[in-house]
Structure 1
Amino acid sequence: MSDSPGSGPPPPPPRPLPRQQATPQTTALRQRLAELRGPSVAPQPLDARALAALAANPGCERRALLDGAGVNKTVLAQALGSPSDFGQSQFAFMRGNAFEARVKADGGADLMRLLAECTGTAEPADVAVPDLAAAGPQGRAARTALALREATEAGGWTLFDHPMLVLEVAGSPAYLEPDAVVVDPAGRWTVIEIKSFPMIDASADAAKVGAAARQSAVYVLALERIAAHTPGASVHDRALLVCPKDFSNLPTASAVDVRKQLAVTRRQLARLTRIEDIAAALPEGTTFDPGLPPAELTAAVESVGAAYAPECLAACELAFHCRTRARGAGAVEALGRGVRGELGGLTTVDAVLAAAHGEEGDPSDPTVAALRRAAALRAEALGSAAC
């Protein structure tokens, strides 16, 4: 006999989404960051790619503050007169979106097949795809966290399409959006990264794979915060990298071990100075509004310390501006982190040359002695060549 409508115990009420309560400190920080950004400037969200680059250079307070305040560094670089072509081209962006749509078509059938092949499991016949829609990034992050817990409790296969994760960076929340996350029946969460660069003969460009691994490590770190409060959940230390196969548009995949990148990212993010501490040290009225006169804007940017290195050219929109300043000051950082580490207390090119020529420096200093020896060998070689 079937139950009539309304019979039986009432269904349990839905669990409310967790909400992050604003404190006076966080409210004051948000107001301060809005002032730094400019009163009429919308915040630029901090994505995993920028976060991975920030973790690779934790000593750069300038990038930490600008990213934390949501400053659009591309617009800022243009206003400073040092525009950068850093970033993805429109063509590459469209190609990437088209490839991702193909991979996720039919409920992610290709994606789940590739995951099964790389993990050695049977291809799932039934995969749930929850609706993660909510108001604003905070709402989406809360909805994602709740859906991850529910999927783990349910014990089936679940595909999360563009979930929203949150990770605290230097005291400020950063909202991150991986391409996909899969929860398997064992409660293991796997990050999926979909890239448009090709995988030829089962291998791809090492630099691009490394960048994808660092980006995936950021997502893993954010997922670990949720898994820590979810019974039976674990985060896989291997991300699934999906790329076009050879020169076609057919997807192929490879499991990428992100344990090393995860350890580095966790350690580097812990070293970041808190954003409120950096902001508190700025002169009163400092703002990075791109509408300011160039001289005022340059002074505002220079009021925050930077840690330039040639590697910044591939990871930061302000790299050309910082390089020009470093070269103008004769800073040895412009020659690379390796050179900077070898030179010890000699921080400028002029100081290095003076030490090499015997004009300055302590002869008992190993660095000074090595420079003078190198200068003597160079002079001897040039003298021999002249003869």
Structure 2
Amino acid sequence: MPAPRRRETALRHRLAELRGPDVPAKALDARALAALAANPGCDRRAVLDGAGVDKAALAGALGTPSAFGQSQFALTRGNAFEARVKADGGAELLRLVRERLDPRAEPPERARVPDLSASGPEGRTARTALALREAVAAGGWTLLDHPMLALDVAGAPAFLEPDAVVVHPDGGWTVVEIKSFPMLDGSADPAKVGAAARQAAVYVLALEQVAARLDPPPRVRHRVLLVCPRDFSNLPTASAVDVRKQRAVTRRQLARLARLEDIAEALPEGTCFSPEQPAQRLTAAVESVPAAYAPECLATCELAFHCRDRARADGAVTSLGRSVRAELGGLTRVGDVLAAARGEAGDPADPAVAALRRAAALRAEALSGAVPAAAATGEAVCP
């Protein structure tokens, strides 16, 4: 067996051990991958997602359950809307693609919708790649419904399933994202659109890897189609979203991720993240992997409550936010920050220390109505 294949097999076995015996792997979807790319310094999330650990179940076992997940009503509504968009062989979806992205192309009257079924994610990925190659060779319109794509993440493959990929008559490929939030008067919630764009950018990166293996490589379009309900109805409307910025950021952040192999090798022997373990042992396993908590994690990670509690207990300034952490330079503990502000520690020539002491002096002035004498000398100024 070639050395790369042996390393890949050994890594898979190691990740299975970390996940726990007989525990099925949780698929790493594009939403989780975009969140992981937004915080590439967090080894904890990287190894848990890479091993396919169910972080929601893990958070519950640790006593800090997450607030993630959609209601059954939202899931049902989303599935019903997607089925309507793709009805009649995707006729309405292809009409929206042509109208918004390729108005000069021929009408999609005889579009192909190939069968992408296969055994396992690897089989579905290979079947998708074959369907894309055949669609380019055949010309015309082709709709791939829930194709399977693979993207290398920290040295391990992540299998991704976009809502749809459309092949244009000129051979170009477009990612389609179908969401159940509404477009009111032609515009949608910017925060939700931004999240959808980051998710679609992950699919674009994965498609580019498939295209790179073809000769000549087809063009992967950087404008994706976002399909949503129009106003308060269940009728579909669409908007073209340029994801070049999100793609560039995601690609750069994924490149910064430490390799899973290196993280896994650094863990103590016997480390396991199965929620079935005793709480004390499970906590020790989680704490053996360094985390990079920030308040933004509360909106993207199921373990955020646990990591926030630990960051606060350790007095880490990261719990105050990434922007605050960046302003404080080498001061990484809240206690060190307060000591520097009081003039008890820190180099006065350090810009961060000087700014803290000045802020403390201003605070004292606001509370007392006059600048204390100690402020002028850089001595303790905080009550």
Q: What's the CA shift string for 1:130-187, capped at 9, x where partnerless?
A: 0001000000000000110110011111000000000110011100000000001111
Equivalent of residue 108 in structure 1, options 90, 93, 100:
90
TM-score using structure 1 length: 0.93
Tell whether 2:235 aligns with 1:250.
yes
Aligned to 1:6: none
Aligned to 1:94: 76
Aligned to 2:175: 191
Deviation at 1:231, TM superposition (A): 3.0
Q: What's the CA shift string for 1:178-210, capped at 9, x where partnerless?
A: 000000111100000000000101110011000
**What is the rounded CA distance, in whole Å, between the counterparts of 1:33 and 1:41 in structure 2?**
11
Aligned to 2:185: 201
Q: Which amino acid aligns with 1:210?
A: G
Q: Which amino acid aligns with 1:329?
A: D
8 Å CA contact 2:174, 2:220 repeated in 1? yes
Deviation at 1:89, TM superposition (A): 2.1
**What is the rounded CA distance, in whole Å, between the counterparts of 2:22 and 2:61 in structure 1?**
16
Equivalent of residue 368 in structure 1, options 328, 353, 366:
353
Equivalent of residue 126 in structure 1, options 110, 115, 135:
110
**What is the rounded CA distance, in whole Å, between the counterparts of 1:87 and 1:270 in structure 2?**
28
Identify which range, 330-339 or 226-235, moves more after superposition: 226-235
Aligned to 1:331: 316
Aligned to 1:341: 326
Tell whether 2:22 aligns with 1:40.
yes
**SS at structure 2 position matched to 1:234:** coil
Equivalent of residue 173 in structure 1, options 157, 169, 172:
157
Query: 1:217-366 residue pairs with structure 2 within 5 A?
Result: 217-232=201-216, 233-366=218-351
Q: What's the CA shift string for 1:31-59, capped at 9, x where partnerless?
A: 11111000021110100010000011100
Q: What's the CA shift string for 1:199-229, capped at 9, x where partnerless?
A: 1011100110001000000000000011112
Structure 1 residues 328, 64: closer, same or farther in 2, change over 3 A?
same
**SS at structure 2 position matched to 1:127:** coil
Aligned to 1:54: 36
Query: 1:7-26 residue pairs with structure 2 within 5 A?
Result: 23-26=5-8
Q: What's the CA shift string for 1:58-78, capped at 9, x where partnerless?
A: 000000000000000000000
Aligned to 2:377: none
Q: Which amino acid aligns with 1:209?
A: V
**What is the rounded CA distance, in whole Å, between the counterparts of 1:322 and 1:189 in structure 2?**
40
8 Å CA contact 2:293, 2:304 repeated in 1? yes
**What is the rounded CA distance, in whole Å, between the counterparts of 2:125 and 2:196 in structure 1?**
22
Structure 1 residues 332, 59: closer, same or farther in 2, change over 3 A?
same
Q: Which amino acid aligns with 2:97?
A: L
Structure 1 residues 275, 250: closer, same or farther in 2, change over 3 A?
same
Q: Which amino acid aligns with 1:141?
A: T
TM-score using structure 2 length: 0.94
Question: Where do 4+ consecutive residues of structure 1 move more than 4 Å?
Answer: none
**SS at structure 1 position matched to 2:369:** helix
8 Å CA contact 2:16, 2:51 repeated in 1? yes
Aligned to 1:7: none
Q: What's the CA shift string for 1:267-319, capped at 9, x where partnerless?
A: 00010000010000001111101111111101100000101111111100000
Aligned to 2:196: 212
Which structure 2 segments of 5+ residues have no match? 371-383
Aligned to 1:142: 126
**What is the rounded CA distance, in whole Å, between the counterparts of 2:166 and 2:315 in structure 1?**
50
**SS at structure 2 position matched to 1:29:** helix
**What is the rounded CA distance, in whole Å, between the counterparts of 1:21 and 1:302 in structure 2?**
32
8 Å CA contact 2:91, 2:108 repeated in 1? no
Tell whether 2:53 aligns with 1:68.
no
